[in-house]
A and B are shown apart, each in its own frame.
Chain A
Amino acid sequence: MRIGFFIREAVRATRRSAAPSFAALATVLVTLLVLGVFIPIVQATNGAADSVRSRVEVDVYMKTHATAADDARVRQELLNVPHVKSVQFVSKATAYAQQSKIDPAAYKLLGTNPLPDTFHVIPDNPSNVLAVHNSLSPPTGGGGTGTIDQSIQTVSNKRNDTKKILEVTNLVTITAAALTVLLTIASILLIANTIRLSLYARRREVEVMKLVGATDWFIRWPFVIEGIVVGAAGALLAIAVLAVTKIALLDPLANNWTLIAAPRTISFTALVIVLMGAGVGVSALGSGLSLRRFLRV
């Protein structure tokens, strides 16, 4: 009976103060729309950054006269280096086939195969690439760098490129994270503020309730339920708009644009749950907490 009473009170309040309720609903709708668009974009950006980073690797070139036994030995040695996830072997012949496909005329002119056997060493984490590189080319006495095996010719020295890629992708990830945090805070503040305004209009009512002898929670529950209703309505509308946009605009494009089809973006179901939770949670909490100030009578 209590719960029924609170729900009836909440419905009555929403109906009788339609304008502030609508303002709160619109705020929830807009902020959730922005969030709903922003979350997949951030994730796509992060996915792109990650795929760039995953291409970061160390190339180990063998001496041209290295035998199959040498290759096998070096492979094992490489796998023993810390932070190495996997090692990919590209034989002379494979490399020649690949390269000559790109520029057949030049390689035909060359006649012989100048390419060495190559190992692509992939670190367990892109940011460990420099560590791997360092352990593969330990410093020698003369100030230069050596190798860990006699049959290794060189270890690719793309230090600068690698560093740049890591820095740029890091920056992108951090910026995206910061934007997400800021946007979330802005949404919470915006919703809480709208709710506070609508409560402010009803503070006299709250004061009267207190003077009649209502307990804090007796007054608060209807407001919290109202917050839940408004938040849920706003979230549902936002989700509907997003769903329509997704089906009508994004899905046809996804075939052509890899960024949109990026496999790492959040699934739509998960997005719906996040938005619903955020909408309901923030507005219910906002109503309950904002009311505290007016309850001190």
Chain B
Amino acid sequence: MASRISTSRRAQDRANAASTQHPRPDARRPRTARPVIEFRNVSKLYAGDVGLEEATFAVERGEFVFLVGSTGSGKSTLMRLLIKELDPTSGIICVAGKALDEIPRKRVPYFRRNVGVVFQDFKLLPNRTVYNNVAYALQVTGGSRKEIRAKVPDILRLTGLSTKLHNYPHQLSGGEQQRVSVARAFVNHPPLLLADEPTGNLDPETSIDIMRLLYRINRTGTTVMVATHDQAMVDKMRRRVLELSRGRIVRDEAAGLYTRDETTRDLARRLRAPSTPPPGLE
């Protein structure tokens, strides 16, 4: 894999510099790599309208970041820029140290294999079973049948879909479909996982399941970025939050209280508990 994070002294310096800007209580994983995501003065204009304005930030390896903001604030623009579905009007985007504007159109598919993406509307292939939907992500990379037989049941077990292997997407509930989507995004074990409103169409209980699943994936070392406007969920998860408003980053802070080594079960328990600061939140 071309974009596996490589180690170099310069990268380390940059990582250290970035970490002093955003101090986070993260002692478990040493910072030896360059940022997984780096935006430098990135702007995106849509026929004169601002989609994203002068965005600058960095996300380190293994981080769990929330991207919040109301509709039209630029969350989706940022996500689509990250998978090179759109090109920025100006500025530089680096993913795993690779500048996206240097990737030729032909190489874009190979780049995308290193970024798992989960969408609000799941985007599953309607004509394929759960098993084949997940297998497709491996077939795309030229994975052998043997590899597919080994990996797909594994990831489906991780996402709790072992009993639904041969169902078609329309036979599943929303939460199950989203778990298939997460399984597909993660089956290649990409270093970066993006989720655009993954709980937007789901009820609170199912949302917690999905968040728990994303957290479990994050704990394997994968950087996870979640765009959402579920403010309550963000507050409870207590992870780093990037807030966008009308295309500008207006907040970038790590909620202090979270412990990195929290188990997924503890996380779920905490998420299900009534919110500590109740007023004003749904």
- The answer to the question of A41 belonging to the interface, with a C-beta cut-off of 8 Å to chain B, is no
Whether the pair A213, B123 counts as a contact (CB closer than 8 A) is no
- The answer to the question of A215 belonging to the interface, with a C-beta cut-off of 8 Å to chain B, is yes
Minimum CB–CB distance from B139 to chain A (whole Å) comes to: 7
In the complex, chain B residues whose CB is within 8 Å of the CB of A1 = 144-145
Q: Complex Cα distance A205/B139, Å?
A: 15
- The answer to the question of B117 belonging to the interface, with a C-beta cut-off of 8 Å to chain A, is yes
Interface string of A1-37 (1 = CB under 8 A from B): 1100100000011001100000000000000000000
Decide: A213 near B85, CB < 8 A? Known: A12-B127, A13-B127, A208-B125: no
In the complex, chain B residues whose CB is within 8 Å of the CB of A205 = 125-127
A–B Cβ pairs within 8 angstroms, 13 of them: A5-B139, A13-B127, A16-B127, A204-B123, A205-B126, A205-B127, A207-B123, A213-B113, A215-B106, A215-B110, A216-B109, A218-B140, A297-B85
Closest to A215 in B: B109
Whether the pair A211, B137 counts as a contact (CB closer than 8 A) is no
Whether the pair A209, B140 counts as a contact (CB closer than 8 A) is yes
Decide: A213 near B127, CB < 8 A? Known: A1-B145, A297-B85: no
Interface string of A203-224 (1 = CB under 8 A from B): 0110111111111101000000
In the complex, chain A residues whose CB is within 8 Å of the CB of B112 = 210-213
Tally of chain B residues near chain A (CB < 8 A) = 23
Decide: A211 near B83, CB < 8 A? Known: A1-B144, A218-B140: yes
Contact of A208 among B106, B123, B139, B145 (CB under 8 A): B123
List 13 additional A-B contacts (Cβ < 8 Å) besides A5-B139, A207-B123, A211-B85: A204-B123, A205-B126, A208-B123, A208-B124, A208-B125, A209-B136, A210-B112, A211-B112, A212-B112, A212-B140, A213-B113, A213-B140, A218-B109
Considering only residues 130-164 of chain B, those with a C-beta below 8 Å from chain A are 136-137, 139-142, 144-145
Q: Complex Cα distance A13/B136, Å?
A: 14
In the complex, chain B residues whose CB is within 8 Å of the CB of A2 = 142
- The answer to the question of B34 belonging to the interface, with a C-beta cut-off of 8 Å to chain A, is no
Whether the pair A213, B137 counts as a contact (CB closer than 8 A) is yes
- The answer to the question of B184 belonging to the interface, with a C-beta cut-off of 8 Å to chain A, is yes
Q: Complex Cα distance A17/B145, Å?
A: 25
Contact of B184 among A13, A212, A216 (CB under 8 A): A212
Minimum CB–CB distance from A201 to chain B (whole Å) comes to: 11
In the complex, chain A residues whose CB is within 8 Å of the CB of B141 = 213
Minimum CB–CB distance from B190 to chain A (whole Å) comes to: 9
Q: Complex Cα distance A208/B109, Å?
A: 12
Whether the pair B117, A211 counts as a contact (CB closer than 8 A) is yes
Minimum CB–CB distance from A28 to chain B (whole Å) comes to: 23
Decide: A213 near B124, CB < 8 A? Known: A1-B145, A5-B139: no
Q: Complex Cα distance A211/B112, Å?
A: 7
In the complex, chain B residues whose CB is within 8 Å of the CB of A210 = 109, 112
Contact of A17 among B85, B127, B139 (CB under 8 A): B127
Decide: A213 near B144, CB < 8 A? Known: A13-B127, A205-B127, A208-B123: no
